[in-house]
Structure 1
Amino acid sequence: MKKIVNRVTAPTPKFFKVLRTVGLALAAVGGTILAAPVALPLMVTTIGGYVVVAGSVLTAVSQLTTTDASE
Protein backbone atom coordinates (compact mmCIF):
# COMPACT_ATOMS: atom_id res chain seq x y z
CA MET A 1 0.00 0.00 0.00
CA LYS A 2 2.87 2.36 0.79
CA LYS A 3 4.29 1.85 -2.71
CA ILE A 4 1.05 2.99 -4.32
CA VAL A 5 0.93 6.12 -2.17
CA ASN A 6 4.57 6.86 -3.09
CA ARG A 7 3.78 6.44 -6.80
CA VAL A 8 0.75 8.73 -6.64
CA THR A 9 2.74 11.47 -4.90
CA ALA A 10 5.84 11.10 -7.11
CA PRO A 11 6.48 13.52 -10.02
CA THR A 12 4.58 12.72 -13.23
CA PRO A 13 6.18 13.22 -16.67
CA LYS A 14 4.75 16.06 -18.78
CA PHE A 15 3.32 13.70 -21.43
CA PHE A 16 1.33 11.79 -18.82
CA LYS A 17 0.10 15.04 -17.27
CA VAL A 18 -1.42 15.86 -20.65
CA LEU A 19 -2.93 12.36 -20.90
CA ARG A 20 -4.32 12.73 -17.38
CA THR A 21 -6.04 15.96 -18.39
CA VAL A 22 -7.47 14.32 -21.51
CA GLY A 23 -8.74 11.43 -19.38
CA LEU A 24 -10.43 13.83 -16.96
CA ALA A 25 -12.07 15.63 -19.87
CA LEU A 26 -13.32 12.35 -21.35
CA ALA A 27 -14.74 11.28 -18.00
CA ALA A 28 -16.49 14.63 -17.64
CA VAL A 29 -18.00 14.45 -21.12
CA GLY A 30 -19.19 10.90 -20.54
CA GLY A 31 -20.65 11.85 -17.18
CA THR A 32 -22.48 14.75 -18.77
CA ILE A 33 -23.96 12.44 -21.39
CA LEU A 34 -25.10 9.98 -18.72
CA ALA A 35 -26.60 12.73 -16.55
CA ALA A 36 -28.40 14.51 -19.39
CA PRO A 37 -31.87 15.65 -18.29
CA VAL A 38 -33.41 14.54 -21.59
CA ALA A 39 -33.98 11.01 -22.81
CA LEU A 40 -31.15 10.03 -25.13
CA PRO A 41 -31.05 6.98 -27.42
CA LEU A 42 -29.65 3.83 -25.84
CA MET A 43 -26.61 3.87 -28.14
CA VAL A 44 -25.61 7.37 -26.99
CA THR A 45 -26.00 6.41 -23.34
CA THR A 46 -23.94 3.25 -23.85
CA ILE A 47 -21.17 5.21 -25.56
CA GLY A 48 -21.27 7.71 -22.69
CA GLY A 49 -20.66 4.89 -20.23
CA TYR A 50 -17.69 3.63 -22.22
CA VAL A 51 -16.25 7.14 -22.43
CA VAL A 52 -16.47 7.49 -18.63
CA VAL A 53 -14.66 4.19 -18.11
CA ALA A 54 -11.98 4.97 -20.70
CA GLY A 55 -11.37 8.43 -19.24
CA SER A 56 -11.16 7.07 -15.71
CA VAL A 57 -8.68 4.34 -16.64
CA LEU A 58 -6.56 6.79 -18.65
CA THR A 59 -6.48 9.19 -15.72
CA ALA A 60 -5.56 6.49 -13.19
CA VAL A 61 -2.78 5.00 -15.30
CA SER A 62 -1.37 8.43 -16.11
CA GLN A 63 -1.34 9.42 -12.44
CA LEU A 64 0.55 6.28 -11.43
CA THR A 65 3.29 6.79 -14.03
CA THR A 66 6.43 8.25 -12.48
CA THR A 67 9.84 9.47 -13.61
CA ASP A 68 11.62 7.34 -11.00
CA ALA A 69 13.49 4.50 -12.76
CA SER A 70 14.29 2.60 -9.54
CA GLU A 71 10.93 0.80 -9.33
Structure 2
Amino acid sequence: MNKIVERASAPTPKFFKVLRTIGLVLATVGTAVLTAPVSLPVIVTTVGGYVAVAGGVISAVSQLTVEKNEQPD
Protein backbone atom coordinates (compact mmCIF):
# COMPACT_ATOMS: atom_id res chain seq x y z
CA MET A 1 0.00 0.00 0.00
CA ASN A 2 2.88 2.35 0.77
CA LYS A 3 4.29 1.90 -2.74
CA ILE A 4 1.00 3.03 -4.30
CA VAL A 5 1.06 6.24 -2.25
CA GLU A 6 4.69 6.84 -3.28
CA ARG A 7 3.84 6.29 -6.96
CA ALA A 8 0.82 8.59 -6.79
CA SER A 9 2.90 11.41 -5.29
CA ALA A 10 5.93 10.92 -7.59
CA PRO A 11 6.41 13.13 -10.67
CA THR A 12 4.43 12.02 -13.72
CA PRO A 13 6.07 12.07 -17.19
CA LYS A 14 4.77 14.75 -19.57
CA PHE A 15 3.07 12.31 -21.97
CA PHE A 16 1.08 10.76 -19.14
CA LYS A 17 0.10 14.20 -17.82
CA VAL A 18 -1.49 14.90 -21.20
CA LEU A 19 -3.10 11.46 -21.22
CA ARG A 20 -4.42 12.03 -17.68
CA THR A 21 -6.02 15.30 -18.79
CA ILE A 22 -7.65 13.58 -21.76
CA GLY A 23 -8.96 10.88 -19.43
CA LEU A 24 -10.44 13.47 -17.09
CA VAL A 25 -12.17 15.20 -20.00
CA LEU A 26 -13.59 11.88 -21.22
CA ALA A 27 -14.83 11.04 -17.73
CA THR A 28 -16.47 14.46 -17.44
CA VAL A 29 -18.18 14.21 -20.82
CA GLY A 30 -19.42 10.69 -20.08
CA THR A 31 -20.78 11.76 -16.71
CA ALA A 32 -22.48 14.79 -18.26
CA VAL A 33 -24.21 12.55 -20.81
CA LEU A 34 -25.34 10.15 -18.09
CA THR A 35 -26.73 12.90 -15.87
CA ALA A 36 -28.36 14.95 -18.63
CA PRO A 37 -31.76 16.27 -17.55
CA VAL A 38 -33.31 15.29 -20.89
CA SER A 39 -34.24 11.87 -22.15
CA LEU A 40 -31.55 10.51 -24.47
CA PRO A 41 -31.60 7.40 -26.64
CA VAL A 42 -30.36 4.22 -24.96
CA ILE A 43 -27.32 3.95 -27.22
CA VAL A 44 -26.17 7.45 -26.23
CA THR A 45 -26.41 6.71 -22.51
CA THR A 46 -24.68 3.35 -22.99
CA VAL A 47 -21.78 4.96 -24.85
CA GLY A 48 -21.68 7.72 -22.21
CA GLY A 49 -21.23 5.10 -19.51
CA TYR A 50 -18.38 3.42 -21.38
CA VAL A 51 -16.70 6.77 -22.03
CA ALA A 52 -16.92 7.72 -18.34
CA VAL A 53 -15.40 4.41 -17.22
CA ALA A 54 -12.65 4.54 -19.87
CA GLY A 55 -11.77 8.11 -18.89
CA GLY A 56 -11.53 7.14 -15.23
CA VAL A 57 -9.26 4.18 -15.98
CA ILE A 58 -7.01 6.24 -18.27
CA SER A 59 -6.68 8.93 -15.60
CA ALA A 60 -5.90 6.47 -12.81
CA VAL A 61 -3.29 4.56 -14.79
CA SER A 62 -1.66 7.77 -16.00
CA GLN A 63 -1.45 9.15 -12.47
CA LEU A 64 0.36 6.06 -11.21
CA THR A 65 2.93 6.05 -14.03
CA VAL A 66 6.38 7.26 -12.99
CA GLU A 67 9.75 7.57 -14.65
CA LYS A 68 12.32 4.95 -13.75
CA ASN A 69 15.58 6.77 -12.98
CA GLU A 70 17.56 3.76 -11.87
CA GLN A 71 20.54 2.60 -13.92
CA PRO A 72 20.52 -1.07 -14.99
CA ASP A 73 23.06 -3.28 -13.21
Percent pairwise identity: 66
Q: Give the CA RMSD over aligned residues.
A: 0.8
Which has the higher Rg, Structure 1 or Structure 2? 2
**Structure 1 residue runs of 4+, over 3 Å off?**
none
Alignment partner, residue 39 of structure 2: 39
* C-alpha distance in structure 1 between counterparts of 2:50 and 2:3, whole Å: 29
* C-alpha distance in structure 1 between counterparts of 2:19 and 2:64, whole Å: 12
Q: SS where residue 26 of structure 1 aligns?
A: helix
Q: Which runs of 5+ in 1 are unaligned?
A: none
Q: Aligned ranges for residues 49-60 of structure 1 at < 5 Å?
A: 49-60=49-60
Aligned length: 70
**8-17 or 60-69: bigger deviation:** 60-69
TM-score computed with the length of structure 2 as normaliser: 0.93
Q: Which runs of 5+ in 2 are unaligned?
A: none
Alignment partner, residue 63 of structure 2: 63
- Summarize deviations over 1:33-69 as a string: whole Å, max 9, x none: 0000000000000000000000000000000000134
Q: SS where residue 36 of structure 2 aligns?
A: coil
